[in-house]
Amino acid sequence: MLLHSAIRRHALLPLSRLFFSTSTSSPLSGGGISSRDPHFMVEFLVNSCGFSMEEASKASKPLAHLQSTENPEAVLAFFRSQESDLVYAILNNPTIMSLNVQHTLLPRLNVWESLFGSRELLLKNLRKRYWFLSSNIENVVRPNLNFLRDECDIPLERASLILKIHPTFIVQNPNSLRALVDRAEGMGFTRRSRIFLWILDILSRTSREKVDAHSKLMNSFGWSDSEFCTAIEKQPNIMHYSTDLLRIKMEFLIKDIGLTPSDIASRPKFLALSLKKRLIPRFQVMKILESEELWTSKGKLNMFFIMPDPKFMKKYILPYKDKFPKLLEILCAVAE
């Protein structure tokens, strides 16, 4: 029911009409070239798509079961109606040439348009990611969406936010998705969290070994498992960093800047800041201001390092640029 209602709201009927109106010969009319010559698809791809012989030979291998060019001609007509890059599309997913346009290709596009939320995003993804055209809607996509909605309390609207960025998330094996949810809950994340879907997305693209290494590292700095989960919920992208980079940042924040591990756990944004472009240069600025008694409040550390560059320049650099030109030199060096 979840996808049926979505499809009704975002039907691809105009797209269907566009396809059938731009096709020179309808695939439903029994057209197409039949041949028992195993090389007929190679010839077809060269003549119809502009492939080189090498490209055509590669793309034709998954299509060896086809007995005619009927489906390929229909698919080509469809993609030409959308101005897609045919060569790129077929080389990356040759099996789309064997899809029946009316019964398979267009229904799948119906579903994906409803998930992406607009025709524009659908076509944009078609130009970049053709793999989703071969994904199984009934056995993979629909069960995953229903599981997220019914058991994780994640509505389609929220799921679509992730799918627009990482559509591969929803085409993973349903058993793998359930295992991913169990893994997240085992770490201490709860399904009730509004960012639970984002946590799942991060974990789906991060190996268990890397997560364990990050957790062990933060434990060595005194973080509890609860603090680790809270920090990830506030700043999920830190899971993408290498363990070595996180260690260097933690050591710099604690030993040089003077933050406590708990300070960092409650404000993990510090870990998302660039060491070379933000943390180190602003620390150098801070030391100069401290030496001139122009910086005295440790309580402002959070804003000092996190505030946007224009505001930082206006507040801490420009008022002292004539008396202390070194301040401006530090910031200019970072910008270069």
Cβ atoms of 82 and 126 closer than 8 Å: yes
Task: Tell me what the mean pLDDT of segment 304-322 comes to.
Answer: 91
pLDDT of residue 73: 84
Residue 11 has pLDDT above 60, yes or no: no
pLDDT of residue 7: 36
- Residues 230-244: pLDDT tens digits? 999 999 889 999 999
Rounded to the nearest 10 degrees, the angle between the axes of helix 243-251 and helix 208-220 is 20
Residue 319 has pLDDT above 70, yes or no: yes
pLDDT of residue 50: 79
- What is the three-class DSSP state of 68? strand
- More confident: 15 or 166: 166
Residue 22 has pLDDT above 80, yes or no: no
- Residues 27-61: pLDDT tens digits? 333 445 555 555 788 888 888 877 888 888 888 88
CA-wise closest residue to 204 among 169, 167, 153: 169
- Residues 172-231: pLDDT tens digits? 999 999 999 999 999 989 988 888 999 999 999 999 999 999 999 999 999 999 999 999
- Residues 67-116: pLDDT tens digits? 888 888 888 887 777 676 656 666 677 777 787 888 888 888 888 888 88
Amino acid at 223: W
Mean pLDDT of the chain: 82
pLDDT of residue 304: 92
Task: Tell me what the mean pLDDT of segment 103-130 comes to.
Answer: 80
User: Exposed, middle or buried, 292 (CB in 10 Å: 0-12/13-18/19+)?
Assistant: exposed
Domain regions of the chain by residue span: 2-134, 135-205, 207-272, 275-335
pLDDT of residue 336: 59
User: Exposed, middle or buried, 210 (CB in 10 Å: 0-12/13-18/19+)?
Assistant: middle
Residue 245 has pLDDT above 50, yes or no: yes
Evaluated on CA atoms 197, 201, 202, 208, the torsion sign reads positive
pLDDT band (50, 70, 90) for residue 15: very low
Q: Which of 127-136, 189-198, 206-215, 312-321 has the lowest mean pLDDT?
A: 127-136
68 pairs with which residues across the strands? Answer: 34
Instruction: Show the CA angle centred on residue 154, arms to residues 148 and 155, nearest 5°.
Output: 105
Rounded CA gap, 77 and 84, in Å?
Answer: 10
Cβ atoms of 82 and 123 closer than 8 Å: yes
- More confident: 121 or 80: 121
